[in-house]
Amino acid sequence: MNDNPAPAGPYMLFFRNTGPEIFRPLSASQRQNLINDWNSWFEGLLADGRAVEGQPLELETRVVSGPAGGRVIDGPFPEAKEAIGGYVLLTVTSLAEATAIAQKHPALAHGMIIEVRQLAGGCHLGVTTTARSRQAQVAAPV
């Protein structure tokens, strides 16, 4: 067990298995109830300051890999269930709190999967990863 946990920071909820196929078995009224519950869940997080943004992602995807990005493959792919279908950026300070928020998502009952991840304070390679870190470098006295 880690006696020195990482400093608290923002967390991301990544939504997986969100394609239309998992919601097809729902009746129109069940689907509308789920939409209402999902909106209430998210709007509550925004209202109390625990979330700052969230966005679904399109099903169409493109994967770029290899030297100079020479390999480009268009999707969606058969394993699209595992693809990230959307996200919510949380401002909470612990993994436990982020997990508790994820556990209340109404679409979990229909097969959606939520991955909870903390944003890293920086890149292990030293790459500038945020505008804030760039601003801090510019503002640092010489």
Per-residue pLDDT at 31 exceeds 90: yes
Q: Looking at residue 53, what is its pLDDT?
A: 96
Question: Quick check: 55 and 86 in contact, CB under 8 A?
Answer: yes
The whole-number pLDDT of residue 58 equals 87
Distance CA 79, CA 135 (A): 39
Tokens of 59: 């099903």
pLDDT digits 0-9 by tens, 95-135? 999 999 999 999 999 999 999 999 988 888 888 866 654 44
Q: Pick one of 3.40.50.1980, 1.10.10.10, 3.40.50.720, 3.30.70.1060 as the CATH number of 11-139.
A: 3.30.70.1060
Considering the chain, what is the average pLDDT of its residues? 85
Whole-structure pTM value: 0.78
Average pLDDT of the segment spanning 44-72: 93
Please, are residues 14 and 54 in contact by the beta-carbon 8 Å criterion? no
Domain boundary assignment for the chain: 11-139
Neighbours of 18 (CB within 10 A): 24
Q: Which residues contact 57 (CB under 8 A, 6 or more apart)?
A: 84, 85, 86, 87
Half-sphere exposure of 80 (CA within 13 A, CB side): 18
pLDDT at site 78: 64
pLDDT in tens, 12-24: 999 998 888 889 9
- Structure tokens that stand for 116 in this block: 């909870």
